[in-house]
Every structure is written in C-alpha cells, then in structure tokens.
Structure 1
Amino acid sequence: MQTKNATKTLLKGALILSLASLIAKILSAFYRVPFENIVGNTGFYVYQQVYPLYGIGMTFALSGFPVFISKLIAEQEGQLAKVNLARRLFVILSFFAGGIFIFLQLTSRLIANSMGDGQLELLIKSVSFMFLFMPLLAVGRGYYQGTFNMVPTAISQVSEQLVRVAVILLAAYLFTKRGWTYYEMGAWAMAGATIGALCASLSFSKFYLGSFLSQPFATSKLSMQTLIRRLLSEGLIICLFASLMVLLQLVDSFTVKQALEVKGFSSELAKEIKGTYDRSQPLVQLGIVVAVSFSSTLLPSLTEALQKRHLNEFRKTAKALLRISVGLGAAATVGLIALMPEINTVLFGDASLSKTISIYVVSVFMMTLISNYNSLLQSLNQYQMTVIALLAAIVVKALINSYLIERLGIAGASIATVLALIVAQALIAGSLPSLLKGLLSGDNYLLKLGLVTGIMGGVAAVVAKVGTFLLPGGRLALLLVALISVGIGVLVFIGLALWLRLFSIREWLAIPGGKKLLRLTNKFTNRKGLS
C-alpha cells in the first residue's frame, strides 16, 4: 500500500512538473509575437542575436543541471546526506557560473564584434548577470526534484517566465514611448532574464534559509573531484543536448549577418532580413512543445519497465512514445508549412520570407525524432553517440551556414539547420541498440503517416486559399481563415489516423482525449453497422 502511494505521489509530481514546463515553454515562445510586432524586424534582430546566450543559461538552470542534480540527490540516503551534497554542488556551480559571468563581461566587446555588430556589447553584459542566479536555481530545483517535491520547481519555472516576459514587453512598450535605441531596448529586455531568475529563486527560500544553512556539515561519499568530473561530463552533456536548437541559433548569430553583407546587402538590410528570419524561432519552439509534450505521459511507464527489467514492455512503451511524438511532430510540421503565408501574416503583419521559414520549420520534425531517441538512450544510460551527434550538428551548421547563405540567400541558413539535424539523427539512428531498432518500421507506419499528413496539409492549404479569396481583408479576417483551416486540418488528421489505424489502441489511450475519441468512433461505427 505504501509503495502504491509513493508511486501515485511520484506520478502526480511528474504531472505537475510537466504541466509547469509546458506553460513555461509556451510563454517563452509566445511573447516573441507581440514583441516583434512592437519593435519591428530590426528590434527583433537585436534581441535574437544575444538570445542564444540566455537560452543556454536557461537550459543549464531549468532542464539540464537540475535533472542531473536530482538524480544525485535521490541516490543519497537520509536528509543530512542530501543537504550536504546540495551544498557541495552549489559551491561547484557557483565557481562555474561566476566564471561564465566574468568571461562574458570581459569578452562582451569581442563577442559583439564577432557577431558583426559592436553595439550588441550592452546586451551581452546585461544577459551575463542571469548566470549568477544559476547555482540557486539549478541546485534548488534539483534538490526538490530529488526529494520528489515538484511544486517549488513548478512555481519557479512559471514565475520566472511570467516575470521575464512582463519585463520584455514593458521594455518594448517603453521603447516606443521614450525614444530608446534598439540596443537600449534590447539591454532592458535581456535584463528580464535576471529579474525573472531573482523571482524564481524566491521559490527555494525555505530550503536555502532552512536546512541548507542550519543542518550540520558532514562528509560525503562523493568527493569534490568526483562531483566536478560528473557535473562537467554527464551534467554538461544533458545541458548541451537540451539546448541543441539554441546552439544552432548561436551559430546563426555569428554568421548570418556577415554572410548577408558578403552577398551584397547593406548592414541595415542584413539586420532587417535576420530579424525576419528569426520569426521562425517561436514557431519551431511551439511545434516541438506540442509534438513532445503529449508523449511525456508515457515516460513514467518507461522508467518503471526498465527498473523491473521488463525489456519487452520497455520496447512497447518506447514504440508508443516514439510513434505518438513523430506523428504529432509530422502533423505540426506539415500544418505549419501548409499555412505558413497565413500564419506569418497573422502573427507578424506580412508574409515576408515565408518559404525560408517553411524550410526552417522542418526542424520541428527532426527535433522531435532526435529528442525522443535521446530520451530513450538516456534512460538506458547511453550518452556517447548523442554527444557525437550534437557536436556533428554544430560543426555541420558552422561549416556550411555562410557558404549556403552567400549562394542561396537567407534560405541557406534554414537549409543548413535542417541538414545539421539530419546528420545528427542519422548518427543516432545508425548506432541504436537492438532494443530500440525498428520502432517505426512496422505496420507501414511511416507510409500511413506520409499519406495522412500529406492529405491533411493539402486540405488545410486549399481551405486557406479559398478562405482568403472569400474573406479578403486584414489580419483579423486572415486569423479567422487560419483558425478554420487548422480546425479542418486537425479533423482530417484524426479521421484519417483512425481510418488507417495509424496509432494502436494503446497509443490512442496515451494521447490526452484519445479515450473519448475511441468511444466516439466505436459508437459511430456501431450505429452505421446497425443501419
């Protein structure tokens, strides 16, 4: 009975954390739409050039180090051992974060010049302050997750994003009222990361002002040298993989503007084009969230099967997780591409670079594959190939980005990102253990998925074109057309997926609302059979 209650508490905690993470990610993606509308493409360029530095720091403090720390904390026996380990990790991370802060402060001008825009120095210095809060956030979140209390972490995630988004939008508003330069506005917007981190840290005040300070010091089984080695190997690997898309964006920050200038564009026009190209970021971020979040309901079952060494059950659950995520990832990708001109205009005011953004959106499908295979490999404690794949993706992007932009224009940056992710996925797929091979190959799954998403995308695109013709007008009319097209596209996808049996009953039951859909389908089928 006690074990059942513990499992129930664990699952409830995992659900709370997943929901908070989903809300935080949606907030992190959605604010960029009104922000871009207020500050324009050039203002968006200024912000997005330095955003990857924030993105890396956020990953360290939000989903990288906390996951690794929680694993270490959970392994410790007794409250005293857990607290003492948390103290040691706090000291190590304080040196690590302090080093990053000093590095960014001292090299901000060099980094800005390397990005092709010396005025970005102010933003780089501004965002560097958030790293000072990384130890507080990472250890606080890791400690509570390691003791299976997910509520403080959930509160910190949502509060951090709410405060940060509020500061960013306030900076954008004041930019229009006070005549700030783009770079002054960007510096204040980046300060939102530090203010958000400060507010999120308050969620852990009970721990830091309580047992963290009051518990007696004791020796630990893990030496400082061992902790440093594991933190900078296993922990850093988790962090870097979680920030793969951000690292690819960082390559863009150092190469896109300069490559556009080599192609013949003026500095100001290059900024405008880069800002327009960066519209793809929130779309991809939301697409990945939608694709991956629904499959997270299966992760506890995956862990349980592995702990009990039920390898057949592990494979079945892994197959369900992968098929659901890939199916939703493909649907999100095709849907975004089919409706890109309309979505681009509704969100950002015009359809500029819709083809370039459409190419970039293929990243949703690729990242869905990569993220899920990475989760499965991590559950088996296999990290080596994911590290190689990550490094290969960054190297490929860095090597071909400027070349493709100089020859194909800004579309080359989108192509370089997709090719980098294809290389990463190919390396991962080629090294999978036998337990994870062939998860997508049975039941003509990929053929059915191609057919379902192809028809869905075609129908949605036609509905959008007809709707645009029948309802000519501004962004409001186009929003209505887009919503109708999305609704019809979703219905077509669900209908064809049920008809072609794209997902098994087990997989439908794992999707929120899937049980109701199956009941509804059974009722309809039974009535049709009777008539």
Structure 2
Amino acid sequence: MEENKINDLSGTAVKKDAREKMLSGSAWMTAGSITSRILGAIYIIPWVTWFGAYSNEANALFAQGYNIYSYFLVIATAGIPSAISKLVAHYNGINEYGVSRRLYHSGMYVSMVMGMICAIIMLFGASLMDNGDPNVIPVIQSLAWAVLIIPAMSITRGFLQGYNWMAPSAMSQFVEQLFRVIYMLAATYFIMKIKHGSWVSAVTQSTFAAFVGALGAIIVLIIAWLRHLNEMNELVQHSVSNAEVSTTSLILKIVYQSIPFIIIEGGINLYQLIDQYTFPRMMSMVGHFSHYQVTVLYALFSFNANKLYMIVISLASAMAATVIPLLATARAQNDHEGMRKQIQNVLLLFYFVMIPAALGLSAVSQQIYTVFYRYDAAGVVVLQVSAYISILLGLYTVGAAMMQGISENKKMMTFLGIGIIVKFLVQFPCIWIFEGVGPLVATGISMFVVNYLILHSFNMEFNLRFDKMAVPTNQILAYSLVMFVGTKIVMLIIGHFVSSYGRYTAFFSLIPGVLVGVGIYLYLILKSRLADRLLGPRVERLRILLHIK
C-alpha cells in the first residue's frame, strides 16, 4: 500500500497523457512566446518614429549587435537550458528526482562560468566583431551585461520545463519583454526627443534593455521556484536514490549534451551572422550600391521583416520547448510507439498553426508593414518572402528539437552542417539574382534541404504514418489557402476605398482583414472537425458557442 502511494507521488510529474501534456505545455509556451513577441514588435512603432530619418540605420545597427549577442548567448548558456530540460525529464521519468536536482546545481555552475567568459569577450573584444562599423562596438558592449546574468535565468527555465511546468517560463518571458520594452522606449524618448542626442547612444541604451528585462524574468522565476519548492522536495524525498551518479559525471554529461545544443539552437543565428558578414561585400560585387543603400536593404530583411515573421516562428519555438522533455521521457522509458506518435502529433500541430499564420502574414503584409515602419514597397516584398521562409525556419526549429529529444544530436549536427554548406554555395547566386531578398531565398533553399533530411531520418527510424497524416495536412493547406484568398480579396476591396499607404488607414484596414482571415480558418477547422482531431474534445465547447454544427 505504502509502495503504491510512493509510486503515485513520484509519478505526479509524468502522470498526464503525453498528448495532453504537449497541448497544455504548448498552450502556455505559445501564450508566453506570442505575447512577448507581439510586445517586442509593437514597441517598434514609437521606437522607429522617434528615430525619424535615422530609423533604418538604427534598425540595421540594432540587428548587427543582436545577431552577435544572440550567438554569444547560445554559447554562454552552452545550450544548457535545453540540455537540462531533456536530462531532468529523463531522470524524472525513471523516478530519480534527486539526480535531476543535483543536475540543476551542476549546470548552474557551468553556465555562470560560461556567462562570465562570454561577457568578458564581448566587453573587450567588440572591436574585432564590428564588421568595419565602429558604431557596433558600444552596442555589443552594452549587451555583454545581459549575457552575464541570462544563463542563470535560462537554466532555471530549463529545469522547470523538465518537470513540464511551462507556466513559469511563459510568464517570465512576458515579464522579461515588458521590462525590456519599457526601459528601451523610455531611454530612446529621453535621448532622441528630450536631449536631441545621438541615435547611436539611443540604440546602445535600447540594447542594454536586455539586461533590465532579464532582471524582471529572474524575479518571476524565483517566485515560481519558491511556490514549487515543497512539491519538488517531496518528489526528491520519495525518489530512487542513485549515489553512483557523481557531480563530476553530471557536469560532464551536461557539457556532452550541451555542445550539440549550442550548434543546433544557434542554427538560425548562424544563418543571420552569415548574412551580416557576407551581404555588404556581395552586394558591392553585384552592383554599384552606396553604403547607405546596402545598410537600408540589410535593415529591411534582418530587422524590419525579421521582427514580424519571428512572431510566427515563436509558435514553433514554443512547441519545440514543450516536445523535448516529452520525447526524452519516452526515450528513457524505451517507448518507441510513444515517440512515433509524439513526432506525428507535433508535426501536425506545427502545420495546423504555422501554415495559416505564415499565409495570413503574407496576405496583410502591406498593411502590417506600413503600420510598423511606414509604407515601403521594397519592405513589403521582403516581408512577403519572409512570411513563406518562416514556415521552413519554424519547421527546422521543431524538427531540430525533436532530433535532440530522441538523442540524435550527432545526426542533427551533420544535417545542419550540410545546410550551412548549401547556404554558402547559393548565397552569392541568390544575391546576384534577387539582390535584397537574396539572403532570404538562400536561407529558404538551405532550410528545405535540412528539413528534408530531418523528416527522412524520422521516417527511417520510426516509420511515420504519412498516409494517416496526409488527410489532415491537406485539409490544413487547403483551408489556409482559402483563408489567404479570402483575406487578400478583403484587403483589395478595402484598398479601393481607403488608402493603405498611411499608418492610421493601414491599421484600420488591417483589422477587418485579420478578423475575416481568422474567421474563415476557424469556421473551416471547426466545421470539418479537424480541430477536434488535433486539439481534442475540448474544442466542442467552442463549436457550440459559435453555433457551428
């Protein structure tokens, strides 16, 4: 009797059905990721306005600093949050909660040391990474402070995700973004509007806001930790004791697991760095472009469009964070069938959300770009191309996470290596042919190759039931296309009566377009019962509420 009670207690973190966990976790992570991304996009409207004529140069400078910062951040955290999430789920899955607690402490030591090393390199080595632009140096240095403290924040998120507690991560993401946006807007307004100071100083303070945001996130995670502390202690107390797993072996295991995460999670950052260091040189080889023209073109795809399509990709990132611990648990329990079903569920859920979101962004691209940055024909074209490329980038994010979840790190690193080679091979031809959108096309071609390799690998190992996936996948694609056409028609009709070149008119044109698009897709997925198949019986309540039979 007592043994059953103990078993019940130790199983509380993994008791739910895996599908329910994935949906619940995805809901929390999607909510946190989407709200923080939307907040991170909305600030652009006043931010760009206050920079005035310097807006595109400010955007390009911000993007250059952030691309370098993002990769240093991946190195500083050493991929540890995702590795911790996976390893904690593994040890929890075999009822060794004490080991997972020691794992967290060991990982914290490693990540704090890495954060200090990377922050020092950014502070004193910024001039070596400026790509010939001295304005980049203070921006990189301002971001070093965030790299110093974010590893501790990130590893705590990973630990809580290993228990499938996604709410603290989601809430900390939102608070981090809120603190960051408040500081950067206040600093920019003060420098540009009150002091009439340097736009480079305003960008520098805007990037330093990452440190302020991280402080806010840490406060949320500390509160969450204290709330769950008794539950975690009880699980540790009733778990299987495994003294054979030493602290040294845990640190080695973390490092071994985290190296692939550095490379794989930094994949998209690697592509952005390739663009940052090759685009200006290659553009000078294909035509006579001034430094200002190249800077503006770079800003269009690296910052302007990136800020908007990353909202869509954040959907994939949320699912990726959810699926790693679930797959790791299934792998620890040697549940081959469970892993196959998880992979299929994640792919269908990804298509279900990502395809309509990307097509919807493309359908309203002119209006949404105008609202955020003022009308620019070139910017609209870049955003439209980016919307389609975001599907491939999102699929890479989810696919790479699943490969890591089933411990296929070496294979995933090989696939990414092939993709980077493809990117280098097609980068110049694509820039030569497509100029400003060339880097996006090159990334799309490369990601297509990587995604094919990932899906082929899954099929070879798990024999995925593509025949069963075909019907819902085709439904998603068909409904998304119907939504795209319907939304586009609405936008064209509104465009005949209202100018879409002004910010305010574009905003009021955007609202009915978005409502129509969401309405069409929602009606089709509810009417066909597609939503029930993918999200479960809870959707029935929504159908009743909307009177859809």
TM-score by length of 2: 0.80
Query: Which amino acid in 2 is paired with 1:184?
Result: S
Offset from partner CA, 1:204-255 (integer Å, 9 cap, x none): 66889x99xxxxxxx9755676445433442232344334333322222212
- Matched residue, 2:235: none
- Secondary structure (helix, strand or coil) at the match of 1:431 reads helix
Distance 1:297 1:202, change over 3 A: closer
The answer to whether the 8 Å contact 1:116/1:257 transfers is: no
Query: In the superposition, relative to structure 1, how do residues 464 and 519 fare at CA in structure 2: closer, same or farther (>3 Å)?
Result: same
1:339 to 356, 364, 383: 364
Shift of 1:72: 4.2
Match of 2:234 in 1: none
Query: After superposition, what is the alpha-carbon deviation per residue over 1:395-449, rounded to whole angstroms, capped at 9, x for unaligned?
Result: 3334433443244311111111211211211221222234253447644444444
Shift of 1:326: 0.9
1:301 Cα deviation after fit = 7.4
* Counterpart contact for 1:53–1:127, Cα < 8 Å: no
> 2:56 corresponds to which residue?
41
Q: Deviations over 1:131-154 (max 9, x none)?
A: 221442234434555567666655
1:109 maps to which residue? 127
Partner of 1:466: 493
Q: What's the CA shift for 1:304?
A: 7.0
* Larger mean Cα displacement after TM superposition, 370-379 or 12-21: 12-21
Residue 105 of structure 1 aligns to a residue whose secondary structure is helix
- Alpha-carbon distance, 1:472 to partner: 3.0
Among candidates 67, 70, 75, match of residue 52 of structure 1: 67
The counterpart of 1:506, out of the listed 508, 513, 533, is 533
Query: Which letter maps to 1:259?
Result: M
Residue 348 of structure 1 aligns with which residue? 373
Q: State the match for 1:478 in structure 2.
A: 506
> Equivalences for 1:89-104 in 2 at 5 Å?
89-104=107-122
SS at match of 2:289: coil
> CA–CA distance in 2 between the matches of 1:276 and 1:430?
34
Instruction: Judge which range, 391-400 or 77-86, deviates more.
Output: 77-86
- 2:377 pairs with 1:326: no
Contact 1:244 1:390 (8 Å CA) reproduced: yes
1:216 aligned partner: none
Alignment-derived partner of residue 400 in structure 1 = 426
Aligned position for 2:411 = 385
Deviation at 1:80, TM superposition (A): 7.4
1:354-365 paired onto structure 2 within 5 Å: 354-365=380-391
Q: What runs of 5+ residues in structure 2 fail to find an aligned partner?
A: 231-241
Aligned residues of 2:115 and 2:147 also touching (Cα < 8 A)? yes
Residue of structure 2 equivalent to 1:528: none
Q: For the residues of structure 2 that align with 1:136 and 1:53, how far apart are their CA atoms?
A: 20
Cα pair distance change 1:298/1:397, threshold 3 Å: closer
Does structure 2 retain, via aligned residues, the 8 Å contact 1:62–1:137? Answer: no
Taking a change above 3 Å as real, the CA distance of residues 505 and 161 of structure 1, as seen in their structure-2 partners, is: closer
Contact 2:264–2:413 under 8 Å retained in 1: yes
Q: How far is 1:195 from its partner?
A: 2.5
Report matched runs for 1:198-347 at 5 Å. Answer: 198-203=215-220, 221-222=244-245, 226-262=249-285, 263-277=287-301, 278-290=303-315, 293=318, 311-312=336-337, 314-347=339-372
Deviation string 1:318-356 (CA, Å, 9 cap, x unpaired) is 323322311321111222222212221122111332222
Alignment of 1:122 with 2:138, yes or no, is yes
Aligned amino acid, residue 462 of structure 1: I
> Is the Cα contact below 8 Å between 1:456 and 1:489 reproduced in 2?
yes
2:206 aligns with 189
Alpha-carbon contact 1:61-1:138 (below 8 Å) kept: no
On the 8 A contact 1:284/1:364 being kept in 2, the answer is: yes
2:175 aligned partner: 159
Distance 1:295 1:370, change over 3 A: closer
Equivalent residue number for residue 493 of structure 1: 521
What's the counterpart of residue 529 of structure 1?
none
- Report the AA paired with residue 106 of structure 2: R
Secondary structure at the residue paired with 1:118?
A: coil
Rounded Cα–Cα distance in structure 1 between residues aligned with 2:317 and 2:159? 25
Q: Tell me how far 1:502 sits from its aligned partner.
A: 8.0
Q: Is the 8 A contact 1:30 1:282 kept in 2?
A: no
Determine the C-alpha separation between the residues in 2 that align with 1:280 and 1:89. Answer: 36
Greater shift after overlay, 117-126 or 151-160?
Answer: 151-160
Q: Is the 8 A contact 1:335 1:489 kept in 2?
A: yes
2:452 — aligned with what? Answer: 426
Contact 2:183 2:206 in 1 (8 A): yes
Tell me the distance in 1 between the aligned counterparts of 2:13 and 2:30. 18
1:174 is matched by which residue type in structure 2?
F
Query: 169, 179, 185: which one pairs with 2:185?
Result: 169
Gaps of 5+ in 1: 212-218, 526-531
Counterpart code for 1:118: P
Look up the equivalent residue of 1:127 and give its one-letter code: L
TM-score (norm 1): 0.82
- Pair 128,391 (structure 1): closer, same or farther in 2 beyond 3 Å: farther
Measure, in 2, the Cα distance between the counterparts of 1:149 and 1:61: 24
CA distance in structure 1 between the aligned counterparts of 2:262 and 2:158, rounded to whole angstroms: 13
For residue 407 of structure 2, give the secondary structure of its aligned residue in structure 1: coil
Decide whether the 8 Å contact of 1:60 with 1:134 is kept in 2: no
Distance 2:337 2:163 in 1: 30
Q: 2:438 aligns with which of 395, 412, 421?
A: 412
Query: What whole-Å deviation, never above 9, does each CA across 1:366-406 have from its counterpart, x for those lacking one?
Result: 13322333333333222232222223333333443344324
Counterpart Cα distance in 1 of 2:123 and 2:138 = 10
Structure 2 vs 1, CA of residues 80 and 336 (structure 1 numbering), >3 Å: closer, same or farther? closer
Answering whether residue 35 of structure 2 is matched by residue 23 of structure 1, we say yes
CA distance in 1 between partners of 2:118 and 2:388 (Å): 33
Q: CA deviation at 1:83?
A: 5.8
Aligned length: 511
Q: Deviations over 1:60-103 (max 9, x none)?
A: 67894223224445638888766654443333223322222232
Which structure 2 residues correspond to residues 65-104 of structure 1 after superposition, within 5 A? 65-72=80-87, 75=91, 85-104=103-122
Structure 2 CA distance for aligned equivalents of residues 227 and 82 of structure 1: 9
